[in-house]
Amino acid sequence: MAAQNRRARFDYFIEDTLEAGLILTGTEVKSLRGGRASINEAYAGLKNGELYLFNAYIPEYGQAGRWLQHETKRPRKMLVHRRELSKLMGAIKQKGITLIPMTVYFNDRGIAKVEVGLATGKKKHDKRESEKERSWQRDKARLMRDKG
């Protein structure tokens, strides 16, 4: 896994997920394989009728020269089928639905993929509820481990 957005499930209700390809330059791929990328502030959106990943940070590749480096937070085009794109466009136009990147990874063929979730934002009381649930699951596992 090259990058993961661990707060996505805490901050949003994820209704559906989708896998999309990612168009990257050579230094971006090498830097992404290093595992120092961040998609915590990233989001996906439409630009000129196509799907892009905005605000994802992929650091410069240190072993390449200055003229080969990429821009660290440039918009990166995502590849999805036309039918999926029209479905996503309809979902984005609804009130309160956003596209949040969950993970960036390389598949078994070495192709960069991003898992995007259709999400609605959680309110403060929803976040407290999910924190209580996580705490209870942790305590329950601890009790079962100590008992058995």
CB 52 within 8 A of CB 76: yes
Domain span at 58:
3-122
Query: 138 lies in a domain?
Result: no
pLDDT at 3: 87
Token representation of residue 14: 């994820």
β partners of residue 147 = none
Query: 128 lies in a domain?
Result: no
pLDDT band at 51, cuts 50/70/90?
A: very high
Query: 66 lies in a domain?
Result: yes
Mean pLDDT lowest among 33-47, 95-109, 124-138:
124-138
Q: Give the single-character DSSP code of 71.
A: -
Nearest CA among 4, 49, 57, 5 for reference residue 31:
57
Query: 92 lies in a domain?
Result: yes
| pTM, to two decimals | 0.81
Query: 139 lies in a domain?
Result: no
The mean per-residue pLDDT over the stretch 108-129 comes to 88
Q: Which ranges constitute the DSSP H helices of 39-123?
A: 82-93
Query: Cα separation of 16 and 3, whole Å?
Result: 19
User: Chain-centre distance of CA 17, in angstroms?
Assistant: 10
The mean per-residue pLDDT over the stretch 53-62 comes to 91
Specify the CATH number for the domain of residue 107: 2.40.280.10
- DSSP helix/strand/coil, 108: coil
Q: How many CB atoms lie within 10 A of CB 148?
A: 5
Number of domains, the chain: 1
Alpha-carbon distances of 11 from 41, 63, 88, 100, 133, rounded to whole Å: 12, 36, 20, 10, 14
